[in-house]
Structure 1
Amino acid sequence: MKVVVLGSGIVGVSTAWFLARDGHEVTVIDRGTGAARETSFANGGQLSVSQSEPWAQPGMPLKVLRWLFQEDAPLLFRLRLDPAQWEWGLRFLLECRRERAEHNMCQMLAIGSYSRLAMAEIIADTGIAFDHLRRGILSLYETQQELDAAARVAELMAVYGIDKRVVDRNELARLEPALAAVAGQFAGATYCESDQSGDVHLFTTALAEQAVTLGVNFRFATRINALGTAGGRVSNVSVTGPDGAFTTVHGDAYVLALGSHSPLIAATAGLRLPVYPAKGYSATIPVRDPAAAPTVSLTDEAGKIVMSRLGDRLRIAGTAELAGYSSTLNPRRCRLLTDRAQALFPEACDWDAAQFWTGLRPATPGNVPLIGRSRIANLFLNTGHGTLGWTEGAGSGKALAELIAGRAPEIGFTFTGR
């Protein structure tokens, strides 16, 4: 069938690739000048199934209140006269109940684990190079209380086949020698050997090129205006092309994979999606001394900052700011990233050469993505992946391709419309 995919980030391109491999005629539309130009451009680099913990946890509401006016808070609500923000916030509070948090984590683990296999499948089929490292992820904890809580989460994840374990300071330094001088600052860490890292932009652009060889038609620099509906189905998508001309694109099925902008386009068809933009920051810095820079991907849990080695660069990313669709860089939140990394690895990088970036992550209140059929018969959703779009993207694309083909993906995940 003819499938129109809206969005060319990691989720949209993965969906297009699996659809094309399944024999469908696929068109991808995006306002960017190429694939992965927005949220999939410069994220933290982690393929982190073991990081599948929702923000919405029993203790989070009090933390959010303490962080309200703290510019360097890991999760910052900038309160606005925005009904969508308030509605999302209320739903977030409901997801903070313990039973909901555990349910959401299980869902995230399911799609993350499935995605790890889908990623391996793509790599085996295409040979894509993207500064890929299979050295695991270390999560660093400053206090014994935090480490003990992390150990309990690791035990729960083990039930679902995730190989996350607690390591002491000595093993921390052995696993990542670049941390040896500062390992004493931490109570310990957790380590997941099967987690990976890599450059999402390199991967997605290369996969888009591979998709073209399968017949996928990419229409870049094309603004998506609205979905046209008739008889309970999407009849077309109206777009404005690079030349400014208005036109419509027709298909048998449509996939909404526009990240944080998905609810805006869904609203043109009368759909309300519980997705809100969470602005994240990153810094990309040239490595000056390779021996002094980490190769194991790291999560500094105190500041919710991640660090990944991408070839001769160090990528540092983190923080979440709920402030609508603003993409303005906040210098203080930028410095938060580089100051922390420089404190851990002072000789590793050319710190004055940092390149800063910000992107809008599409967050659902419980951090579980929306994947599957919408209430409009031929409109499918693949959005709401929050901070785990890179981790969950390949599997989300494969799963949705299976659903469009009428097959049931072998995964313990609750798809929309089922």
Structure 2
Amino acid sequence: MKVIVLGGGVVGVTTAYYLARGGAQVTVIERQEGPALETSFANAGQVSPGYSTPWAAPGIPVKALKWMLQRHAPLAIRADGSLFQLQWMTQMLKNCTSTRYAVNKERMTRVAEYSRDCLRQLRADTGIEYDQRTLGTLQVFRTAKQLAAAQNDIAVLRECEVPFRELRADELPDIEPALAHAQGLVGGLHLPGDETGDCHQFTKQLAALARAAGVEFRFGTAVQRLITQGRHVTGVQLGQPGAADGETLEADRVVVALGCASRQLLTTLGLNLPVYPVKGYSLTVPIVHETLAPVSTVMDETYKVAVTRLGEHIRVGGMAELAGHDLRLNPRRRETLEMVTHGLFAGAGDLPDASFWTGLRPMTPDGTPVLGRAPGWDNLLVNTGHGTLGWTMACGSGKLVADLTLGRTPDIRTEGLGLDRYTNDSWSRPNDGRQSPIHA
């Protein structure tokens, strides 16, 4: 079976790896000159199934209005001139209810927990190294209101049997010793099953393993269009959109894992993929004082910023800007990341020497990725929309979509994960169904 995977980020590469392991002949098309050079390049470094939480949550609309007036707000909105931005935000607001939040969090946790298990198995099978640590995530709170709100997440964690530990302020140094010097924290939630690691390093290493397994990588290659016959995708035409027709590759199956670029491509097939580019920022900070640095990941609930240990560096990632495909670096976002780092781990790293980066996360209104068959197409699959959790969900998403592509039954329920939840009422009426695999 010939399968073309569109996209060479962490999601596309993990998909290709599992497809090749399942016996498929795989070609990966990536517009950059190597793997994981866009959104996967310098993310926060978290593999955090325990922190798989929808941005659409009760109280967010009111918080968003308050954030508009704050200098260090976790969310900023700038009109991009598109109707889609307004439609996407409206759909997100509809998900800001207690009922929707619980449904969406369960779906996200289901994928993320499975993905963490897949990553552990992959690591055992291959011995892959990527500055990984398995010491968990510590979510820290600055107000009693945040502590109270965390009880909603804890209820879902219990339901999904995810281990956790609630902490008083004086217990935080038990998990992260350097927080003994931090001020203004009232408590925390420790998720010991979470991990950390360098997503870019992981993806490069996995691409090498996939290549050794027979996967062909076509880097520096753009996708012009999908070639169709009836409801069947027969191949992919390469080349820049609008340019002269380029090379055509035939395929039995096609998987779209292009992140934020997936929507534009699928629109040409009449599919309305509700994935919007949510801009995030990160700092990569050289460590100068080991004892003052984090040992794993600390998530500051107030600013939605994660501070993660990656080898001899600290990766500080967060923020969310709804501003279209703008990739300009905003110095005010750097100020926020530096402020949070200094407040939690003062003196740990050389902040003036830190690398400043931005990327676009492909996010759905409900926070759950879009995985599986494209409605109305018999051999087209989608693997995108992971938002801030692409690294967390990559292995599980790749394995699930590979199984569906190869005609196998996935290891976990697929209810609520497909694009059909936005094209009919199934997304608001949970059931116990599974997506059907594609059969030859």
TM range (shorter): over 0.9
Q: Once the two structures are superposed, what CA deviation does each residue of 1:214-266 show, in whole Å capped at 9, x if it has no partner?
A: 0000000001121122111112211128xx98211110000000011110111
Q: Which amino acid is 1:382 matched to?
A: N
Aligned to 1:111: 111
Matched residues in 2 for 1:53 and 1:84: separation? Answer: 24
Q: Which amino acid is 2:341 matched to?
A: A
Matched residues in 1 for 2:136 and 2:275: separation? Answer: 30
Q: Which amino acid is 1:355 matched to?
A: S
Matched residues in 2 for 1:382 and 1:405: separation? Answer: 15
Q: Which amino acid is 1:217 matched to?
A: E
Matched residues in 2 for 1:412 and 1:379: separation? Answer: 20
Structure 2 residue 42 is the aligned partner of structure 1 residue 36: no
Matched residues in 2 for 1:54 and 1:8: separation? Answer: 25
Per-residue deviation, 1:155: 2.9
Aligned to 2:177: 177
More off after superposition, 266-275 vs 367-376:
266-275
The gaps in structure 2 that reach 5 residues or longer are 421-434, 436-440
State how 1:46-125 maps to structure 2 within 5 Å: 46-68=46-68, 70=70, 72-125=72-125
Structure 2 residue 133 is the aligned partner of structure 1 residue 133: yes
State how 1:8-407 maps to structure 2 within 5 Å: 8-68=8-68, 70=70, 72-182=72-182, 184-240=183-239, 246-375=246-375, 376-407=377-408
C-alpha RMSD of the superposition: 1.5
Q: Secondary structure at the match of 2:228?
A: strand
Q: Which amino acid is 2:379 matched to?
A: N
Q: Say if 1:134 and 1:196, in contact at 8 Å, map to a contact too.
A: yes
Per-residue deviation, 1:142: 0.5
Q: Say if 2:102 and 2:156, in contact at 8 Å, map to a contact too.
A: no
User: CA 1:69–1:256 in structure 2 vs 1: closer, same or farther (change >3 Å)?
Assistant: farther
TM-score (norm 2): 0.92
Matched residues in 2 for 1:350 and 1:71: separation? Answer: 23
Q: Say if 1:140 and 1:298, in contact at 8 Å, map to a contact too.
A: yes
Q: Which amino acid is 2:63 matched to?
A: K
Q: Secondary structure at the match of 1:408?
A: coil
User: CA 1:67–1:181 in structure 2 vs 1: closer, same or farther (change >3 Å)?
Assistant: closer
Q: Once the two structures are superposed, what CA deviation does each residue of 1:267-292 show, in whole Å capped at 9, x if it has no partner?
A: 12221100000000000010011111
Q: Once the two structures are superposed, what CA deviation does each residue of 1:334-367 show, in whole Å capped at 9, x if it has no partner?
A: 1110121022222111111010000000000000
Q: Say if 1:228 and 1:269, in contact at 8 Å, map to a contact too.
A: no
Q: Say if 1:286 and 1:350, in contact at 8 Å, map to a contact too.
A: yes
Q: Say if 1:164 and 1:192, in contact at 8 Å, map to a contact too.
A: yes
Q: Which amino acid is 2:143 matched to?
A: T
Matched residues in 2 for 1:109 and 1:313: separation? Answer: 28
Q: Say if 2:363 and 2:386, in contact at 8 Å, map to a contact too.
A: yes
User: CA 1:29–1:71 in structure 2 vs 1: closer, same or farther (change >3 Å)?
Assistant: farther
Equivalences, count: 416
Q: Once the two structures are superposed, what CA deviation does each residue of 1:95-119 show, in whole Å capped at 9, x if it has no partner?
A: 1122111100000010001101110
TM-score (norm 1): 0.97
User: CA 1:65–1:170 in structure 2 vs 1: closer, same or farther (change >3 Å)?
Assistant: closer
User: CA 1:71–1:362 in structure 2 vs 1: closer, same or farther (change >3 Å)?
Assistant: farther
Q: Once the two structures are superposed, what CA deviation does each residue of 1:38-91 show, in whole Å capped at 9, x if it has no partner?
A: 000000001001111101112111122233465532122212321110110111
User: CA 1:69–1:413 in structure 2 vs 1: closer, same or farther (change >3 Å)?
Assistant: farther
Matched residues in 2 for 1:51 and 1:296: separation? Answer: 14
Q: Which amino acid is 1:15 matched to?
A: T
Q: Say if 1:278 and 1:322, in contact at 8 Å, map to a contact too.
A: yes
Q: Say if 2:304 and 2:318, in contact at 8 Å, map to a contact too.
A: yes
Aligned to 2:431: none
Q: Say if 2:255 and 2:383, in contact at 8 Å, map to a contact too.
A: yes
More off after superposition, 47-56 vs 146-155:
146-155
Matched residues in 1 for 2:360 and 2:80: separation? Answer: 17
Per-residue deviation, 1:147: 1.0
Q: Which amino acid is 1:204 matched to?
A: T
Moved over 4 A (4+): none
Matched residues in 1 for 2:3 and 2:70: separation? Answer: 45
Per-residue deviation, 1:152: 3.6
Q: Say if 2:256 and 2:384, in contact at 8 Å, map to a contact too.
A: yes
